[in-house]
Structure 1
Amino acid sequence: MKILKENAGPLTNFEVLDFLRSRGAAKDPTRVLAPVAPSEYKVYDYLEHSVASSQTRESIAEFVTKCKPYKLTKTEIATLINIRPTSAVEIDPLIEDLDSRLGESVEELVELIVQMFPPSPDQITTDE
């Protein structure tokens, strides 16, 4: 792997999962296309059970576009994508000066997150 640009920005969990898939990481180590480190298997396994496994490039790009009016930083947007908060209480520690920056539009942002990103596979089984 070659680093093209240092500190280009934070990655979402989906991007890390997509990268690991492209390297050949899978649940079955015998199906590996390229040498994959044991730590990559652990990260892959963790991300497969997170909200990243149910996200798509299109949904992330659309979410980033729809977040423009909220004037969030790239890191805040990546954090929202990774964690997928479902209430104002969960979103409060993720955005600095939430009340002064977003005010009443916090609920709109939460609704946007819930609408754009489906729950993780683990959340679906827990809710049922």
Structure 2
Amino acid sequence: MTNVLARRGRASAYKIVMLQAAIVGGTSILLFVMWGVQYGLSALAGGLIAVLPNFVFATLAFSHAGASASGKVVKSLFLGEAVKLLLTIVLFAIALGLLKMDFGPLIATYALGIFVPWTAPLYFKQN
């Protein structure tokens, strides 16, 4: 039973991550077409900084489910959030420090990627 619950939660989280990836990918393509390669790559980097940590969180957080595994559920949520935060910091450091991405499109697309899960109930019917 717990595997079924974990799978169902992970599938819902992955749907949100895929929506997030589609929106930031489309935005990156739009910025690439309108303002060139550097803006498009910076927007893509910002989108990846939003999407990749959320994917990792979804994978770790929904590895356990059920009342009998409540301790494991709490630990996996905390571990997922810690890894998500550390990965976000590392990816920002790489994008801004090593790759010298443009700050505007990077932050704008990151913010858009962060905003998508907040609006997810508008896109998906809850069962």
What interval of TM-score do these two structures reach, taking the shorter chain for normalisation?
A: 0.3 to 0.5
**What TM-score comes out, normalization by structure 2 length?**
0.36
**What TM-score comes out, normalization by structure 1 length?**
0.35
